[in-house]
C-alpha cells in the first residue's frame, strides 16, 4: 500500500482505549496529512512509503493539545505578582482595578499585530514541547472591536505557525469600566451584539464565561449559554475556581464541552458532569501560582468517570505558564493524577474538551497526523521531569 510518510521502529502511546495504548514495535503511516495506520508493525500492510523515517525506538504520542489558554493578551502582571508576594490577594488586586481589567487596558491599547507579536513567543514555547493544537480565548478586550481584534489575532497565529487554533469567545470574563454597576447590561450587549458579530465573522469556535464572585453569576452565565446555543456554538465554562456558584452543573446541563478549574466543585457538580459527558479541565498552573489550597475533587471525578483534561491556562494574572509538560507534572504532583491520566489529559480528553475527538487526540486511522516524537525511555518521563524538554520531532498534519 502506497503512503506519503511512514514512521517506523517506534514505540507508540496511541492513547486509544482507556490507558496509554502502548505498542512496543509500532509504525505510523500517513497519506495527505492523515493517519492511515497506527499500530503494531507486525499487523501493518506492506507500505510503499515515499519517505520512511526510522525512529530508533523513540516514543510517539499524539501531538499535545493545550485546551485552555489566554495566550493572546498585551503586557504582563509581574508587578501584581510582586504585590502578592508581600501579601495582597488576587481578589483584592482585582477589586482595586488591577487584575483582568489592567490587562484589558493594555490589550485595548495594542494593535492586532502587537497582539500577534507578543503571543508568538508563548505559542512557540508550547510548540517546542510538541503542542499541535491550542485553544485561545478572547476576554481582555471587552468591547466588540477589541474582542474581535483578539480573536483575529488568535486566528492569525494559526496561520503564522503550523498549529491548529480553536478560539473561545470569553467576553464574559470581567465587567468593563463602561458598564460599571450594570453587569446585566453588559451581558445583554454580549448576547445581542458582541457575540453575534464575532460569530458572524467566523471568529468563534466556542463560548466561555467566568462564573465567579468577581466575574458573572449563574443567571448571567445562563444567558451567555442561551445566546451561544442560538448561534449553534458549543459552550464551556470557568467554574468553581475561587468559590462554588454551581457553575459546573449549569454548564453540564447546557451540554458544555468542558468545565474548567473546579477547585470548589461539589458532588452535584460531579454527577451532572458525568451525566452530560462534560470534560473536567484541570489547570494546575493557576492552582500553583495563586497558592490555592483546595484541590479539585479528583477521586470523585475519577469514580464518576468524568474525563479529565489538563491545560496551561496561560494568562498574565494567575498562570503565566507556557509549558504543557510542566502542567502535567503539576497535575501529578499537586492533584495526584496518574501518568496515564496526565497524558490522556493533554491528548484524548483535551481533544474532547474542544469538540475535536474525530480529528485529533489519539493515534488512529482517519485522524490528522499530528505526532510528538520523544527522546524518552518510558512515557512517565514526560510527566516526571521538570524543565527538560525531550521532544525529538513534532509533526503537524503529516509534515
Q: Which residues bind ligand DI6 (CB under 6 A)?
A: 99-100, 103, 173, 210, 238, 241, 286, 313, 315-318
**313 near Fe ion, rule: CB under 5 A:** yes
Least spacing, CB of residue 277 vs Fe ion, in Å? 21
Closest Cα to residue 11, out of 393, 392, 391, 373?
Answer: 373
Least spacing, CB of residue 253 vs ligand DI6, in Å? 20
Residues in CB range of 54: below 8 A, 6 or more apart: 8, 9
User: How far is the C-alpha of 160 from the C-alpha of 142, rounded, in Å?
Assistant: 25
Neighbours of 90 (CB within 10 A): 20
Q: Quick one: 71 or 372, whose CB is closer to Fe ion? A: 71
> What cell numbers appear for 194 in the block?
458582541
Q: Quick one: 58 or 73, whose CB is closer to ligand DI6? A: 73
Q: Quick one: 60 or 262, whose CB is closer to ligand DI6? A: 262
Q: Map residues 97-136 to x or -, x wherever contact with Fe ion holds by CB under 5 A.
A: ----------------------------------------
Of these partners, Fe ion, ligand DI6, none, which one is at the site of residue 265 (CB under 5 to 8 Å by kind)? none
Least spacing, CB of residue 249 vs ligand DI6, in Å? 18
Least spacing, CB of residue 345 vs ligand DI6, in Å? 18
Residue that the C-alpha cell 520531532 belongs to: 393
Of these partners, Fe ion, ligand DI6, none, which one is at the site of residue 166 (CB under 5 to 8 Å by kind)? none
Q: Quick one: 6 or 248, whose CB is closer to ligand DI6? A: 248
Q: Hey, which bits of the chain come out as E strands?
A: 2-13, 22-31, 34-40, 48-54, 59-62, 64-66, 131-137, 164-172, 206-211, 236-239, 258-261, 279-282, 308-310, 371-374, 391-395
Q: Quick one: 176 or 398, whose CB is closer to ligand DI6? A: 176
Of these partners, Fe ion, ligand DI6, none, which one is at the site of residue 318 (CB under 5 to 8 Å by kind)? ligand DI6
Helix (H, G, I), strand (E, B) or coil at 341: helix
Q: Quick one: 318 or 362, whose CB is closer to ligand DI6? A: 318
Helix (H, G, I), strand (E, B) or coil at 110: coil
Least spacing, CB of residue 32 vs ligand DI6, in Å? 39
Least spacing, CB of residue 139 vs ligand DI6, in Å? 7
Closest Cα to residue 19, out of 385, 249, 354, 348?
Answer: 348
Least spacing, CB of residue 87 vs ligand DI6, in Å? 18
For residue 252, what is the enclosing H or E element?
helix 247-253
Q: Quick one: 5 or 122, whose CB is closer to Fe ion? A: 122
**208 near Fe ion, rule: CB under 5 A:** no
User: How far is the C-alpha of 42 from the C-alpha of 177, rounded, in Å?
Assistant: 64
Beta bridge partners of 319: 315
Whether residue 358 contacts residue 352, with contact meaning beta carbons closer than 8 Å, is answered with no
Residue ranges in contact with Fe ion by CB under 5 A: 313
Amino acid at each position: 500500500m502506497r503512503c506519503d510518510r511512514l514512521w517506523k521502529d517506534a514505540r507508540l502511546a496511541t492513547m486509544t482505549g482507556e490507558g496509554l495504548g502502548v505498542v512496543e514495535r509500532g509504525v505510523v503511516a500517513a497519506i495527505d496529512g492523515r493517519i492511515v495506520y497506527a499500530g503494531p508493525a507486525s499487523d501493518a500492510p506492506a507500505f510503499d512509503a515515499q519517505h520512511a523515517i526510522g525512529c530508533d525506538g523513540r516514543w510517539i504520542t499524539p501531538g499535545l493539545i493545550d485546551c485552555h489558554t489566554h495566550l493572546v493578551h498585551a503586557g504582563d502582571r509581574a508587578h501584581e505578582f510582586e504585590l502578592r508576594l508581600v501579601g495582597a490577594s488576587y481578589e483584592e488586586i482585582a477589586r482595586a482595578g488591577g487584575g483582568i481589567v489592567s490587562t484589558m487596558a493594555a490589550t485595548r491599547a495594542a494593535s492586532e499585530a502587537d497582539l500577534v507579536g507578543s503571543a508568538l513567543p508563548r505559542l512557540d514555547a508550547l510548540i517546542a514541547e510538541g503542542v499541535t493544537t491550542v485553544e485561545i480565548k478572547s476576554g481582555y478586550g471587552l468591547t466588540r472591536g477589541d474582542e474581535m481584534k483578539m480573536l483575529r489575532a488568535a486566528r492569525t497565529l494559526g496561520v503564522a505557525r503550523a498549529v491548529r487554533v480553536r478560539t473561545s469567545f470569553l467576553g464574559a470574563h470581567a465587567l468593563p469600566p463602561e458598564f460599571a454597576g450594570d453587569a446585566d447590561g453588559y451581558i445583554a450587549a454580549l448576547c445581542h451584539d458582541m457575540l453575534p458579530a464575532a460569530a458572524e465573522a467566523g471568529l468563534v469556535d466556542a463560548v466561555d464565561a467566568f462564573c465567579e464572585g468577581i466575574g458573572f453569576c449563574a443567571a448571567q452565565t445562563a444567558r451567555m449559554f442561551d445566546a451561544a446555543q442560538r448561534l449553534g456554538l458549543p459552550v464551556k465554562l470557568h467554574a468553581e475556581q475561587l468559590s462554588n456558584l454551581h457553575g459546573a452543573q449549569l454548564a453540564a446541563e447546557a451540554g458544555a464541552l468542558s468545565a474548567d478549574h473546579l477547585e470548589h466543585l461539589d458532588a452535584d457538580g460531579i454527577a451532572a458532569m458525568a451525566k452530560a459527558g462534560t470534560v473536567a479541565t484541570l489547570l494546575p498552573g493557576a492552582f500553583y501560582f495563586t497558592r490555592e489550597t483546595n484541590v479539585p475533587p479528583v477521586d470523585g471525578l475519577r469514580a464518576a468517570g468524568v474525563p479529565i483534561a489538563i491545560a496551561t491556562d496561560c494568562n498574565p494574572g494567575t498562570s503565566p505558564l507556557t509549558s504543557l509538560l510542566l502542567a502535567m507534572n503539576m497535575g501529578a504532583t499537586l492533584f495526584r493524577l496518574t501518568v496515564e491520566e496526565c497524558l490522556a489529559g493533554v491528548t484524548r480528553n483535551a481533544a474532547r474538551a474542544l469538540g475535536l475527538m474525530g480529528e485529533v487526540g489519539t493515534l488512529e486511522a482517519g485522524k490528522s497526523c499530528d505526532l510528538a516524537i520523544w527522546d524518552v525511555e518510558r512515557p512517565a518521563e514526560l510527566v516526571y521531569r521538570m524543565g527538560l524538554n525531550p521532544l525529538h520531532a513534532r509533526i503537524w498534519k503529516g509534515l
